[in-house]
Amino acid sequence: MNQEMWSKCLLSAYKVLPTLAKSIDRRNMNEALGSFSYQGNTMDVVNAILDNNKRKEALINAKVIVDDALASLKPTYRKILELKYLERIKCEEIAKMEGMSIRNVFRRQALALAGFSKFCILKGYDCEWLEKRYSKDPFFSKIKDRITAQSDKNAMMSDLSKRKKQIKAAVVQILGGMQGASQTAVAES
């Protein structure tokens, strides 16, 4: 997955990260309380809690990365990303809210994502680092799969749009040629 996709993944995950961290705390509490009646190896419980804490640390780090990257952006770019990814508002609605064209929203979103990605890279959170830390986490895997599917759908729609334009141009060219031929035939008679 490339840097832009990881940026989208981090932004999409952001709002849920505190809830996930709290659920890990509850799981650890249940593990610890359940260990009093546990008949197996105590080290299994300790290792489960340690693994949970590593995951919680990774989730908190992801939130800090997003906070820092958003803070580094121009306010207009930050607002576009916050509305799009944190508030989950569609681009059409953002355009209405901000009094700008949809094209301008898409352009600013692309520039904002590029700035977000650049910040991550400059701070050492490149796609290799992010892949190593988050690709195996089930939460991030689901988000990554959803973003990849959406990206594939967008690429397919773009290809269809290009093909449609090519067909339209070919039809116009054919009709133009037919019209020229009929004018020549009328002139000859």
Dump pLDDT digits (tens) for 119-150: 999 999 999 999 999 999 999 999 988 888 87
* Whole-prediction pTM: 0.74
Total Cβ atoms within 10 A of residue 42:
9
CA distance 20 to 13: 10
Percent of the chain with pLDDT over 90: 62
- Note the pLDDT of residue 189: 57
CA distance 55 to 78: 27
- Note the pLDDT of residue 43: 84
CA distance 135 to 5: 12
- Note the pLDDT of residue 186: 54
- Note the pLDDT of residue 166: 76
CA distance 9 to 109: 15
CA distance 86 to 12: 7
* pLDDT beneath 50, residues of the chain: none
Which own/partner pairs from 86-90 qualify as long-range (CB within 8 Å, at least 24 positions apart)? 86/11, 86/14, 86/15
Amino acid at 115: G
- Note the pLDDT of residue 161: 66
Amino acid at 167: I
Which residue in 32, 108, 123, 107 sits closest to 72, CA to CA? 123
- Note the pLDDT of residue 172: 77
- Note the pLDDT of residue 170: 73
